[in-house]
């Protein structure tokens, strides 16, 4: 032990006060610079990919637009026939519309978050079966490292007003390495 450390310790003891430093903190605020590089969708750790329409009939709904930066879903496409979009007053499911791929280094749980408004209760994403939906963290699906899952879309069109048929909405796909439904207390 260093002599200076011993003297400081004894001095604190002699005056009746003790200072103990653990290095732990509850909150800290600091200003730092960081360089953050955002990757295109086809280079990201969690990728959303359009599928090949030769193998998947509903793949034409999805399109990686903007040089791979966005996955856009357009349900007014002509799909195997002459129809344009989902039926009115119906619940319509589209299997295998796009893929979610985990190119990271650990298994993840992923789910979809739609904007907060009652209107978006009519649409949801699913894996394998239309129930349960990947709606919020309670509906999270597991995605192992290096794997991909095919995602379908369920639309309850009897709850969508006709004047909103061309509305664009932003949906966020979220992922975490910890199970969002588990009790972490």
Residue 17: what pLDDT?
45
Give the domain extent around 64: 41-176
State the burial class of residue 14 (Cβ atoms within 10 Å of its Cβ: 0-12, 13-18, 19+). exposed
Residue 166: what pLDDT?
60
Residue 163: what pLDDT?
53
Residue 180: what pLDDT?
87
pLDDT in tens, the chain (185 residues): 444 433 343 433 444 444 554 555 545 556 665 555 555 666 788 888 889 888 998 888 888 876 666 788 887 765 566 666 777 778 888 899 999 999 989 999 999 888 765 455 578 899 988 888 888 888 899 999 999 999 999 888 776 655 555 666 778 888 889 988 886 55
Q: Is 33 within the bounds of a domain?
A: no
Q: Is 4 within the bounds of a domain?
A: no
Could you tell me the CATH number of the domain that includes residue 71? 2.60.40
Count structural domains, the chain. 1
Q: Is 114 within the bounds of a domain?
A: yes
Say how far apart CA 75 and CA 156 lie, in whole Å: 13
Residue 11: what pLDDT?
38
- The DSSP call for residue 106 is S
Q: Kind and range of the H or E element at 14?
A: helix 3-14
- C-beta of residue 180 within 8 angstroms of C-beta of residue 110: no
Residue 18: what pLDDT?
47
> 55 — alpha (psi -120 to 50), left (phi > 0) or beta?
alpha
pTM of the model: 0.71
């Amino acid at each position: 032990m260093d002599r200076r450390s011993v003297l400081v310790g004894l001095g604190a003891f002699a005056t009746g006060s003790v200072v103990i430093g653990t290095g732990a903190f509850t909150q800290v605020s600091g200003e730092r610079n960081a360089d953050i590089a955002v990757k295109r969708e086809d280079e990201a750790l969690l990728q959303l990919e359009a599928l090949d329409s030769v193998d998947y009939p509903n793949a034409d709904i999805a399109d990686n637009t903007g040089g791979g930066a966005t996955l856009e879903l357009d349900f007014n496409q002509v799909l195997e026939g002459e129809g344009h979009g989902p039926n009115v007053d119906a619940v319509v499911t589209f299997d295998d519309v796009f893929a979610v791929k985990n190119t990271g280094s650990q298994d993840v749980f992923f789910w979809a978050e739609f904007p907060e408004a009652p209107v978006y209760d009519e649409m949801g994403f699913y894996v394998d079966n239309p129930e349960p939906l990947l709606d919020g963290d309670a509906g999270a699906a597991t995605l192992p490292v290096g794997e991909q899952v095919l995602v379908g879309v369920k639309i309850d069109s009897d709850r969508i007003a006709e004047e909103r048929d061309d509305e664009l909405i932003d949906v966020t796909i979220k992922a975490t390495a910890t199970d969002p439904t588990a009790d972490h207390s």
